[in-house]
Amino acid sequence: MAHQLARLLVAAPHRTGGQAQFIDLPVRPEPSDGSAKLYNWALENLHQPLTVEQLARRAGVSRRTLIRRFHADTGLPPMRWLLDARLARARELLETSGLTVEAVARRCGLGTPANFRTLFKARVGVPPSVYRDTFLSVPPPPDGQSEAGADTA
């Protein structure tokens, strides 16, 4: 049934070379007890080195309570949710900007370009450059410059 529907939609039912399917993962959880402010704050501050302790302080709860809330809201531990959010933001930037890999890594809080490439390939199935080549929705700026000169490395 799935193969038939995929053919009707002109979508490949499988990707070649063991490549992962590219699906958007929900990053914004269904918050409980007013946790929406914390999730939104974390999403706005992905570029910072966030910790469980920092998130707990921000939420005004203990570390243990924060972990329980994250599990209840997202089904994930806080740092796993944060990694997923950072990778989702990286995918968005790769699809919509001409930023360098270094700039994307920095804006998403994923550390060094090497760390970013390793995490991205492990989770998405392809390196960031291949992902960008496949999904870039705007042409990159002329002569290899990023859209924000301060983010080129």
Sequence-distant (6+) residues with CB within 8 A of 99 are 93, 107, 146, 147, 148, 151
Question: Which CATH number describes the domain made up of 36-139?
Answer: 1.10.10.60
Q: At residue 89, what is the residue type? A: R
The pLDDT value given to residue 26: 47
Q: What pLDDT tens digit does each residue of the chain (153 aa) get?
A: 665 555 455 444 444 444 455 545 445 555 555 688 899 999 999 999 999 999 999 999 999 999 999 998 889 999 999 999 999 999 999 999 999 999 999 999 999 999 999 999 999 999 999 999 988 876 656 555 555 444 543
CA–CA gap between residue 133 and residue 124 (Å, rounded): 14
CA–CA gap between residue 118 and residue 113 (Å, rounded): 9
- Of 126, 50, 59, nearest to 81 (Cα)? 50
The pLDDT value given to residue 14: 45
The SS3 of residue 28 is coil
- Of 13, 100, 71, nearest to 108 (Cα)? 100
The pLDDT value given to residue 13: 44
CA–CA gap between residue 153 and residue 139 (Å, rounded): 19
- Please state at what angle helix 63-74 crosses helix 78-96, rounded to 10 degrees: 60
The pLDDT value given to residue 137: 73
The pLDDT value given to residue 36: 85
The SS3 of residue 76 is coil
pTM: 0.72
CA–CA gap between residue 56 and residue 4 (Å, rounded): 48
CA–CA gap between residue 67 and residue 52 (Å, rounded): 8
Q: Which residue has the tokens 């990023």?
A: 146
